[in-house]
């Protein structure tokens, strides 16, 4: 049997069968013993009564006469009364009266061991099987005079009724047992099915999922182990499906993001290749050189955008790979902030934004210096890009408890509350064209969040429209001594 349900049911059936058969055998043996014992006790009593009845016919020194009418009469009448065959024996084991005479054993000498025992003074009983009459019980008791055996009484009782009773009981028990085994077998099959049924359904769902159909869910019944397994499977399926969905969306977003600059480059490259741009005004001297230059600059700009986008995508892919490796070094966030402020000074001036350091408290964190620098660059660049000319972007570093905090605050237009929960999602932008004009890829904050989380930290944003926006990064501070600089 190859199926689990079949094996379970079969094992169950075998166990029940063996148990029931063993119980039947034990009960029958015990029943037989009890019945036999009762018959033996009764037979001894009857034999003793018979001994009392025949005793008067045994006189000292003179054995009873063979088939003496008195003795024969007593033996016969008691045989009728007790339903057994009754024999009277003299001291040598010779039959002197047989209730079955005239045929009978009269005159024969009996040599059965129970006869020998009785003639030696002890009552004895024994079960024997006779081919003619089946099981019979022989009971022999001595006839005593002056405490010495002078003869014996022999009772032969049929055990047919015991045998028949036993057969009846056996029949009933076997029938009952068969019924019990049948019920147990059916129950076993049902129980086995209830275990393996869900497993079979689960297996089918797993197979379909393996073929790429992620919509698989299996109905959960009960609270047993299989139900727990089923629930875990359903959760896994849901998560896989969501992940699959996200991946699809991301791919669509990437394709969409790449399409725009590629389309722009094509729109400019094609007329240049044809040496003609119908929409461009001809130079006075007929030369297209200036137009070509303009187009080439525009194309270079688009190519740069593409490059940034691909670069950010690569970085995000690296950061999201389970095998991502961060270099581990002690980094002073205040030092890091000063470096970033210095490197972005020009950009700030170009954007007309006042980029300034707030309080920069030295605080060490353990992490990847270049990537932490990327975090700060992304946040400050956003400030420069979205706060607008004439505004201020301020960077603060502080240590609070066991935490290093990095704050980038601006007093720009702020972000409407409905956008805040999505801000760190890939490609999420409040104003796509504005982001694009400023050179944004929509991946900056997603990269920030990933880097911070890889360092065991968190990033949050507080923004009020019209008042400004503050991003706060929290990182676990290193335990080492704070470097004074």
Query: Where along the sequence are the contacts to ligand ADP (CB under 6 A)?
Result: 378, 382-383, 386, 410, 412, 415, 423, 428-431, 435, 440-445, 469
Task: Give residue number: closest CB to Mg ion.
Answer: 444
Longest dimension (CA), the chain: 175
Task: Give residue number: closest CB to ligand ADP.
Answer: 440
Contact partner, 349, from ligand ADP, Mg ion, none, Cβ < 5-8 Å per class:
none
The minimum distance between CB 368 and ligand ADP, in angstroms, equals 19
How many other CB atoms are found less than 10 A from the CB of residue 363? 22
The region that residue 136 occupies, defined by phi over 0 for left and psi between -120 and 50 for alpha, beta otherwise, is: beta
Please say which residue, 258 or 366, places its beta carbon nearer to ligand ADP. 258
The minimum distance between CB 227 and ligand ADP, in angstroms, equals 43
Question: How far apart (Å, rounded) are the C-alpha atoms in residues 10 and 166?
Answer: 31
Please say which residue, 405 or 429, places its beta carbon nearer to Mg ion. 429
What is the contact mask toward Mg ion in residues 363 to 382, using x (rule: CB under 5 A)? -------------------x
The minimum distance between CB 248 and Mg ion, in angstroms, equals 24
Q: Please count the residues of the chain.
A: 485
Please give the size of the binding site for Mg ion, defined by CB under 5 A. 3
Please say which residue, 196 or 382, places its beta carbon nearer to Mg ion. 382
Please say which residue, 230 or 435, places its beta carbon nearer to ligand ADP. 435
List, edge to edge, every strand of the sheet that includes 134-145: 95-98, 85-90, 148-158, 134-145, 124-130
Please say which residue, 372 or 445, places its beta carbon nearer to ligand ADP. 445
Question: How far apart (Å, rounded) are the C-alpha atoms in residues 334 and 331?
Answer: 9
Instruction: Please name every residue paired with 356 in a beta bridge, in sequence order, or none if there are none.
Output: 394
Contact partner, 353, from Mg ion, ligand ADP, none, Cβ < 5-8 Å per class:
none
Contact partner, 383, from ligand ADP, Mg ion, none, Cβ < 5-8 Å per class:
ligand ADP
Contact partner, 67, from Mg ion, ligand ADP, none, Cβ < 5-8 Å per class:
none
Question: How far apart (Å, rounded) are the C-alpha atoms in residues 188 and 117?
Answer: 57
Please say which residue, 64 or 444, places its beta carbon nearer to ligand ADP. 444
Please say which residue, 99 or 382, places its beta carbon nearer to ligand ADP. 382
Q: Per CB under 5 A, which of residues 402..461 are in contact with Mg ion?
A: 440, 444
Whether the CA torsion 97, 98, 101, 106 is positive or negative: it is negative
Please say which residue, 204 or 437, places its beta carbon nearer to ligand ADP. 437
Contact partner, 153, from Mg ion, ligand ADP, none, Cβ < 5-8 Å per class:
none
The minimum distance between CB 458 and ligand ADP, in angstroms, equals 17
Question: How far apart (Å, rounded) are the C-alpha atoms in residues 219 and 198?
Answer: 9
Contact partner, 415, from Mg ion, ligand ADP, none, Cβ < 5-8 Å per class:
ligand ADP
Whether the CA torsion 77, 78, 84, 88 is positive or negative: it is negative
C-alpha torsion angle, residues 182, 187, 192, 194 (rounded to 10):
150
* Binding residues vs Mg ion (CB under 5 A): 382, 440, 444
């Amino acid at each position: 049997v190859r199926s689990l349900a079949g094996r379970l049911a079969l094992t169950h059936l075998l166990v029940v069968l063996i148990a029931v058969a063993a119980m039947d055998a034990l009960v029958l043996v015990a029943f037989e013993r009890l019945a036999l014992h009762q018959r033996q006790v009764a037979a001894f009593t009857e034999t003793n009564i018979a001994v009392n009845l025949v005793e008067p016919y045994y006189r000292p020194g003179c054995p009873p006469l063979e088939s003496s009418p008195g003795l024969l009469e007593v033996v016969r009448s008691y045989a009728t009364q007790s339903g057994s065959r009754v024999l009277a024996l003299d001291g040598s084991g010779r039959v002197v009266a047989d209730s079955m005479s005239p045929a009978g054993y009269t005159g024969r000498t009996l040599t059965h061991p129970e006869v020998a025992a009785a003639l030696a003074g002890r009552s004895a009983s024994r079960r024997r099987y006779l081919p003619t009459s089946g099981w019979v019980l022989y009971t022999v008791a001595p006839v005593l005079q002056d405490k010495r055996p002078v003869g014996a009484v022999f009772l032969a009782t049929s055990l047919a009724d015991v045998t028949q009773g036993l057969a009846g009981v056996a029949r009933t028990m076997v029938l009952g047992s068969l019924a019990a085994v049948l019920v147990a077998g059916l129950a076993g099959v049902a129980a086995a099915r209830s275990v393996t049924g869900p497993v079979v359904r689960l297996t089918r769902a797993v197979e379909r999922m393996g073929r790429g159909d992620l919509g698989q869910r299996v109905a959960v019944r009960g609270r047993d182990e299989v139900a727990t397994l089923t629930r875990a499977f359903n959760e896994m399926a849901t998560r896989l499906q969501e992940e699959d969905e996200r991946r699809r969306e991301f791919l669509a977003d990437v394709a969409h993001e790449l399409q725009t600059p590629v389309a722009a480059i094509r729109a400019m490259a094609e007329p240049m290749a044809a040496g003609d741009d119908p929409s461009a005004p001809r130079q006075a001297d007929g030369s297209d050189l200036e137009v070509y230059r303009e187009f080439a600059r525009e194309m270079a700009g688009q190519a740069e955008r593409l490059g940034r986008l691909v670069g950010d995508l690569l970085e995000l892919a690296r950061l999201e790979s389970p095998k991502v490796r961060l270099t581990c070094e002690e980094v002073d966030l205040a030092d890091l902030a000063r470096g970033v402020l210095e490197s972005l000074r020009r950009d700030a001036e170009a954007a007309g934004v006042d980029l300034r350091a707030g309080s920069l408290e030295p605080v060490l964190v353990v992490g990847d210096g270049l990537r932490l620098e990327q975090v700060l660059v992304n946040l400050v660049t956003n400030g420069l890009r979205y706060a607008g000319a004439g505004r201020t972007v301020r960077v603060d570093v502080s240590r609070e408890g066991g935490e290093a905090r990095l704050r980038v605050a601006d007093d720009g237009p702020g972000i409407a509350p409905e956008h805040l929960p999505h801000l760190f999602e890939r490609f999420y932008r409040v104003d796509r064209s504005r982001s694009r004009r400023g050179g944004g890829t929509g991946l900056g904050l997603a990269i920030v969040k990933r880097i911070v989380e890889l360092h065991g930290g968190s990033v949050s944003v507080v923004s009020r429209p019209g008042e400004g926006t503050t991003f706060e990064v929290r990182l676990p501070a290193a335990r080492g001594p704070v470097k004074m600089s």
